[in-house]
Amino acid sequence: MSIDEQLEIIQKQYNHLAGRLHQSEKLKNVAKIDEIGDVIRTARKNQGLTRKKLCDLCGISYTTLNKIETGSVSVRLDIVINVTNSLGLNLWIG
């Protein structure tokens, strides 16, 4: 095997590992689904929003948001997407 062939193999391996490192960096702040209420509450507070204001922004009831933030209810995915979008958060399922 020539030096050029070996360098090409090394470059491919490097690119693969660099891609995996980049992916792991993106996922370091990922929260589990059972933590979504905490994530939403923290983001809301960091943005200086009251529950009422966030409810107005995303069009859900105060009661629903309260239940989401306290983790006391199962919520439809479209509602969670609406709330996370209103807060500028990314929702990744996988």
Rg of the Cα atoms in the chain: 20
Give me the CATH code for the 33-86 domain, please. 1.10.260.40
Does position 29 have pLDDT exceeding 70, yes or no?
no
Q: Residue 41: its pLDDT value, please?
A: 95
Q: Residue 20: its pLDDT value, please?
A: 82
Neighbours of 31 (CB within 10 A): 14
Q: Where are the domains of the chain?
A: 1-30, 33-86
Tell me: the pLDDT tens digits for 37-89? 999 999 999 999 999 999 999 999 999 999 999 988 788 889 999 999 999 99
- Region of residue 36 (phi > 0: left; psi between -120 and 50: alpha; otherwise: beta): alpha
Q: Which of 51, 48, 78 is nearest to 65 (CA)?
A: 51
Region 21-42: what's the mean pLDDT?
79
pTM: 0.67
